[in-house]
Structure 1
Amino acid sequence: MHGPDDAPVVVLLHPLVTHSALWLPQLPAWTTRFQVVCVDLPGHGHSPVLPDVTTLSQYAAEVRHVLDALGVDRAALVGLSLGGMVAQAFALAWPERTQALVLAHTSARTESTIRDLWSSRLQQAADEGMAAQVPAILGRWFPPDFAASAPMTLQWVAEQIASTPFDGYAAAIGAIQRLDHLDQLHGITAPTLVVAGERDAAASPALARLMSDRLPHATLTMLPGAGHIGNVQLPLAFTETVGAFLVQSLDSPASP
């Protein structure tokens, strides 16, 4: 954990085919106010592939194991894309341990047409390797004008994608294909911030609104011009918007 010993705990959950280093733009600011826990989900970063972890609930259980090992009873969870799906699963399974929730660039249900797209992407990765996935993933994640202006940043993200083990990618895709939390969101009572990107081609603003409408205590915020990885494309806006929500939610005695 990074940050003051007596500060509230915030857990950061990264997208597919990245790892906890993707949160580096946020750490200097957030660790002044919170104890930050950066988790590498199974099959990503330094976490090994776990063959028995195939559902979002099981990914969430791995996050719970991390908190148990750290002696953390309650925390706020900030999840982006896949991380947001895992954060939903955690909040549904352990509401008493969920102090606040940030669901960024994510969704709550995978429709059949999107499941088929994921199957095609997985087959391509099996045939051609993870490096072949990089151009298409970056194209979905970042608007062309940002990509053209930030080649070194995209290379940093590309290296995370290419270094993800295929088995970790496959397991996470399987979990994403089975995502179906939408009709359960009314059961999440923690204060929640839903973050959408105006130009997000992977998790549209419409999906963010759908989630926000189902969550009892949700606020929806839109990042102007942002694609799918808003914390990298618009680091200052993301850091301050999410940080302000966390301060308000975690400092308030009325937090559930």
Structure 2
Amino acid sequence: MDRLLANGTVNAAETGEGPPLFLFHSLLSDRASFEAIVPKLGTSFRAIVPELPGFGRSHVVEGGLAAVADRMAEAVQDAAGGAASIVLGNGYGGFVALQMVIRHPSIASRLVLADSGAAFSEPGREAFRNMAKISRQKGLEAITDVAMRRLFAPEFQAQHPELMRGRREAFLRTDPDVFRDACNALAELDLRAELAGVKVPVLVVVGEHDEATPPPMSHELAAGLPRAELKIIPGCAHVPQLQSPQQFLDAVEGFLR
């Protein structure tokens, strides 16, 4: 079931009953990247999967990542109705979730940050600048192969042609301006000095072979958070919940309960 949140500005799908669990998707994907795990999560939680601002039917918001985080805080408060919420963010969704909890400390009771971080290395920043530049000059089509490589290893792509066709189509539906703004925001982002203020328990998980947000970023993130634990998901890349759903669920289920 879809519903509109935050005064009609955020579109979200909702499944199941129980405590609210929000799932924030990555930049190179969409909310469908959670479809393989939502049925299982929906047996214990009210799983709420929003389209982040500028994606799908959710309205664009001006003001960078902070404004995106504020909009999502409004959506979480709206959907949760004051109940303690767990927020799980993958990739870009993880950066949004972390920024949201920094700016709104009481918004979540627990946080799962999957394949995310607090700041990129200089090569990582340059990669975002290059994707923004090339997409501006030549369109999203020109960076689709790069985007897919950041999501999945070549071997996985070769073994799952149907899944990859869907992922490419989803990426090409992204609003180019929203994509470039997010790339530029991530290229400048550095939340490391604010991690000590995050008081809720945090599970940091990362795919062993993630090239978009490499495991050292998750090690640094977990080390900077007061109440964090880190899990590496073997054999996976940037979207482990799509690549190996049961393995991802096994990694997070104990923490969610």
TM-score, with length taken from structure 2? 0.90
Which structure ranks higher in relative contact order (CA pairs < 8 Å, sequence separation ≥ 6)? 1
3-state SS, counterpart of residue 195 of structure 1: strand
3-state SS, counterpart of residue 98 of structure 1: coil
Contact 1:79–1:85 (Cα < 8 Å) also in 2: yes
Range moving further from structure 2, 99-108 or 62-71: 62-71
Aligned-residue offset at 1:92: 0.8
Residue 36 of structure 2 corresponds to 25
3-state SS, counterpart of residue 97 of structure 1: coil
Range moving further from structure 2, 111-120 or 207-216: 111-120
Where does structure 1 differ by over 6 angstroms across 4 or more consecutive aligned residues?
none
Aligned-residue offset at 1:238: 0.6
CA–CA distance in 1 between the matches of 2:181 and 2:151?
20
Residue 58 of structure 1 corresponds to 67
Contact 2:16–2:47 (Cα < 8 Å) also in 1: yes
Contact 2:85–2:108 (Cα < 8 Å) also in 1: yes
Residue 39 of structure 1 corresponds to 50
Q: Counterparts of 1:104-183 in structure 2 under 5 Å?
A: 104-183=114-193
Residue 206 of structure 2 corresponds to 196
Aligned-residue offset at 1:39: 1.2
When the two chains are superposed, the root-mean-square deviation of aligned CA atoms in Å is: 1.4
Aligned-residue offset at 1:144: 1.7
Instruction: Structure 2 unaligned segments of length 5 or more: list them.
Output: 1-13
CA–CA distance in 1 between the matches of 2:136 and 2:208?
32
TM-score, with length taken from structure 1? 0.90
Contact 2:233–2:251 (Cα < 8 Å) also in 1: no
Residue 236 of structure 1 corresponds to 246
Sequence identity percentage: 28
Residue 27 of structure 2 corresponds to 16
Contact 2:209–2:235 (Cα < 8 Å) also in 1: yes
Deviations 1:159-204 (A, max 9, x none): 1111101111012112212211112111111111100111111111
CA–CA distance in 2 between the matches of 1:242 and 1:154?
25
Q: Structure 1 residues 2 and 124 mapped into 2: Cα distance closer, same or farther (>3 Å)? A: same
CA–CA distance in 1 between the matches of 2:158 and 2:41?
29
Aligned-residue offset at 1:72: 2.6
Residue 235 of structure 2 corresponds to 225
Deviations 1:104-156 (A, max 9, x none): 11110134443232121111111211122211111122112211111111111
Aligned-residue offset at 1:49: 2.6
CA–CA distance in 2 between the matches of 1:87 and 1:172?
14
CA–CA distance in 2 between the matches of 1:118 and 1:171?
10
Match of 1:211 among 213, 221, 234: 221
Instruction: Structure 1 unaligned segments of length 5 or more: list them.
Output: 248-256
Match of 1:80 among 90, 93, 100: 90
3-state SS, counterpart of residue 12 of structure 1: strand
Contact 1:18–1:45 (Cα < 8 Å) also in 2: no
